Amino acid sequence: MDNCAMRFEMVDYDGIEIDELKAEIERLREALHQIESWSRAYPLEVFPKPNLKKARELLKVGGIGLDAIAADCMRHVVEGVGGIARAALDANRAVSDPDSEIASNIK
């Protein structure tokens, strides 16, 4: 098993009903739909690609690095996608652990 596969949490589906599995799949699909929808939030027709070379030069004059801005933008995106994924995974963990605090909020 490679390192990536080892990081995935194994979920015990023993004793979970088909309807619960269907609900879990639906929650995961909804999370994927949210991420896919967000991927279309900034269309090129509205936000054309900037001239990054020129932007870097202009920012440099002002003492700002394009790398810092790019990293901040990516951090925002990755944190948003991570939040969607965490919410979906937490809800699914709750289904497999009916005694969890999250489970009481879902049902």
Please report the sign of the dihedral spanned by the C-alpha atoms of residue 79, residue 82, residue 88, residue 92: negative
Q: With b meaning 16 or more CB within 10 Å and e meaning fewer, what string describes 47-65?
A: eeeeeeeeeeeeeeeeeee
CA 85 to chain centre: 4
- Token pair 């739909």 is found at 33
The pLDDT assigned to 19 comes to 85
pTM over 0.75? The answer is no
The pLDDT assigned to 21 comes to 85
The pLDDT assigned to 83 comes to 95
Burial class (CB in 10 A: 0-12, 13-18, 19+), 92: buried
Residues 52-83 have pLDDT tens digits of: 999 999 999 999 999 999 999 999 999 999 99
For the chain, the domains span 16-106
CB atoms within 10 A of CB 24: 20
Name the stretches of the chain with pLDDT < 70: 1-14, 92, 94-107
| Beta carbons within 8 Å of 92's beta carbon, 6+ residues apart | 11, 24, 27, 28
The pLDDT assigned to 105 comes to 46
The pLDDT assigned to 106 comes to 44
Helix (H, G, I), strand (E, B), or coil: what is residue 14? Answer: coil
